[in-house]
Structures are given as C-alpha cells and as structure tokens.
Amino acid sequence: MGERLKGKIAFVMGAGCIGEGWGNGKATAVLFAREGATVICVDRDLASAGRTAAIIAEEGGKAAALRADITSAADIDSAVSDVIARHGRIDILQNNVGIAEPGGPEAIDEASWDRVMDVNLKGFFLTCKRVLPEMVRQGGGAIVNVSSVASITTIAVPMISYYSSKAAVNHFTRAVAVEYAPKGIRCNAVLPGLMNTPMIVEPYRHVYASVDDMIAKRDAMVPMGKMGTAWDVAHASLFLASDEAKYVSGVLLPVDGALTCQTR
C-alpha cells in the first residue's frame, strides 16, 4: 500500500463497471485506496459499486458503496450528505461517468442528444455544485473530471453529442479551476484516448466485424501500437488528485499513446 493519498476521502462517481474487467472508475477507485484514501464508490448500480468496494476491502483498504444516478440532483445530494455525515469532508471528487451514442446531427434524435448531455455534462455540474461548497468549507480539495480526446478531435465514427459534451466538460473544468483557485481547490481533466475497457464494446459493436476486429483496428490507430487501459487513466488521475499536483489546475491531460499528436 502506498501513501500518496493517505488520510484523504475520495468520492468516485462511476466506480462500478459495465460487465467484467476494469473500467476507468473501478480502476481509479482501487488505485486511490491502494494509495491510502478512504474511497466512496458511487454508481447508479449499487451492486457494481459494491463489487469495487469489496475488492478494496479484500486488499485491506477502506471503502464504502453508495448508489446515485449522476443525473439526479436528489441522488447526488443524498450521497454527498451521507459522506459528510460519516467523514466530515470530501478531499477528492472523481467524475468517471459517461455514455456515447453514435450518430451525426441528422442521424440522432433530440432524446438521444439530451440523454448524452445529461450524463456527460449536467452530471458533472451536479456533482461539483454539491461538493464544491464542502471543499470551500474545509479549505481545499481536488476535482478530476474524465473527459476524452474526442473533446479535441474526432475519432472513427460520428458521435456529435459525445464530442460536444466532452468539449463542454473541458471548458467547464477550466472555468471551475479559475474560479476556485483562490479557495485552494484544483480542477483538472483526464482525456483518455482509445482505451480497451468494457465500455467500448457496445457503442461500437455494429461498426466492426467482431470484437477482435475492433481491438485490432483500434490498436493500429495508436502511435504506440495499442490501446490504453483503465489503469492508465487511473494513474493519471492519481497524480492529479494527489498533493504532487498541488500547483496543477485547469489542465486537460491526454492519456492517449500520442494519438492526438498525429496530423491527418
């Protein structure tokens, strides 16, 4: 066990995982605990959050599972209030929730646009709106939002709502960083590139001949020759959440194997 987050209370949204394997939120929650944080694993699927918390407990760490839908202000308020009642503070807020629905502006309908915006953008607003006053009260904190390199470039297939929502997350992150810097609160974003996580399978299944074909073609798009993993996102998040990054705020950090350095 490390000590980079020793004594910290970390509130990790999206700490569960779709299916088997390691999603960004699950890996981040476990890594935070390995570095000494008490991790509140929050997900709309309580059983999934509970499985992450159980992994942490089995490794000797400290964790609890809570249910909350990031699009519900009432859910977020209840979860944050529970943590404050139990621990008195939230030192780290990690937003790992996101959905993608393929389609350009003519192909998607209004309901699809609203659904993606509610989860990917409004949800981050709701968590920050509730947690920021607690961080102001305690005199500091760190927020890490998971965005995407799709916020700064287009990749593979049309996903107008995903691209737009993640671009908005970037500027939301920078605006929070500037406004709350005088209060000792840092806000940064991690921009994952092409990642090999359970989340990629369903949104893109129809685009490729098979899952193996999908992985091979996405690997080939990356200068390093392979997609990243949830642990790459987790380690970047750990740095931004830790005191090692005490003078880092408003940063949009690509974790993409040099993908966005390419010119097309």
Sign of CA dihedral 109, 110, 113, 115: negative
DSSP 8-state class, residue 50: H
Provide Rg for the chain, Cα atoms: 18
Residue 162 annotated as catalytic: yes
By residue count, the chain amounts to 264
Integer CA distances (angstroms), 226 to 10, 186, 212, 216, 219, in order: 30, 31, 13, 8, 4
Between CA 112 and CA 165 the distance in angstroms is: 12
Nearest CA to 126 out of 174, 81, 89, 76 is that of 76
Q: Which residues, at least 6 apart from 239, have a Cβ–Cβ distance to it below 8 Å?
A: 245
**Residue in this structure with the two tokens 């935070």, named with its chain if needed:** 32
Find out whether 15 and 41 touch, Cβ atoms under 8 Å: yes
- For the chain, the distance separating the N- and C-terminal CA atoms, rounded to the nearest angstrom, is 43
Of 162, 163, 180, 204, which one is the catalytic site residue?
Answer: 162
Say if strands 92-95 and 141-146 run parallel, antiparallel, or are unpaired: parallel
Catalytic residue numbers read: 162
